Amino acid sequence: MSEPVRLSRLVADLVRCSRREAEQYIEGGWVSVDGTVVEEPQFTVAPDAQVSIAQDAVLEASEPATMLLHKPAGVAFADCASLVIPAEHAEGDLSGIRELQRHYRHLAPLMVLDDEASGLVVVSQDERVLRRFREDGAQIEQEFVVEVSGKTGPYTLGKLSRGLSYQGRALPPCKVSWQNEVRLRFAIHDVRPGQLRHMCNEVGLDVVAIRRIRIGRVSMGKMPAAQWRYQPPADRF
């Protein structure tokens, strides 16, 4: 009886390609074993298994994924990666990126957002993206809409945009404007947990809700809460 063999070897024989090219076909989600897509080149295949390659298969390396998630209010920031599941993939995703099972592994949420806040969170498995946010995150502008209650005065915006401190640190100037009678819009850098709530409290305002709508040049758009979409590698933050 024949012994099971690695899937990459079978694909290489089937397509008449190199072992590395066979691995790229498999990692790209183009190979099925008995009708089920298998993305692991080291997967062992029984002698009588039916191995097939999609007719529209493209030979290309499988890139690590970065996703944009609409975090619901009340979800812990540390748990954001667990929300990136196939069932919540936004229908309006126009990235053109093929969804692969490997994209759901080793994900890390970036640019901390208060647990009680909602809005845009970046979740990535791409070391290049992780390094960019670790090294340059403080220089990336973020935009928030903050719903507030309480009395405002003629100097509210001026005080919010300059002159406040938080946790013993003088806060750098930021851009603040009224979106409407109860919503403030902040364009701000290097936001610490609890900072926006503290800033509003310092000028006599109570925070009702916080929503992050933009990180750098990337906006959340109208994506529903708890859903996510791919961030194309060519789109920079």
Residue ranges per structural domain of the chain? 5-53, 66-230
- Banded model confidence at residue 222, pLDDT cuts 50, 70, 90: very high
Contacts of 226 (CB under 8 A, 6+ apart): 70, 71, 72, 83, 88
| Of 47 and 78, the one with more pLDDT | 78
Q: Under a CB-based contact definition with an 8 Å cutoff, are residues 148 and 182 in contact?
A: yes
- How much of the chain, in percent, has pLDDT values that exceed 70? 99
Let me know: does 166 contact 201? Beta carbons within 8 Å. no
pLDDT tier for residue 174 given thresholds of 50, 70 and 90:
very high
Residue 16: DSSP 8-state = T
Question: How high does pLDDT run on average in the chain?
Answer: 93
- What pTM was estimated for this model as a whole? 0.86
* The pLDDT of residue 160 is above 50: yes
Lowest mean pLDDT among 19-23, 67-71, 129-133, 173-177: 19-23
Share of the chain above pLDDT 90, in %: 69
- Fold matches, 5-53 and 66-230: no
CATH classification of 5-53, choosing from 3.10.290.10, 3.40.50.970, 3.40.50.1220, 3.40.50.150? 3.10.290.10
Span 103-121, mean pLDDT?
97
Q: Is 1 a residue whose pLDDT tops 50?
A: no
- How much is the average pLDDT of 188-193? 96
Q: Alpha-carbon distance 20 to 17, whole Å?
A: 8
Which pLDDT belongs to residue 15?
87
Question: What is the three-state SS of 100-144?
Answer: CHHHHCCCEEECCCCCCCEEEEEEECCHHHHHHHHHHHHHCEEEE
- For residue 149, the one-letter residue type is S
Which fold does the domain 66-230 belong to in CATH? Pseudouridine synthase (3.30.2350)
pLDDT at residue number 161: 96
Q: 96: helix, coil or strand?
A: coil
Q: Tell me the C-alpha distance between 158 and 177, whole Å.
A: 10
Which amino acid is residue 63, in one-letter code? E
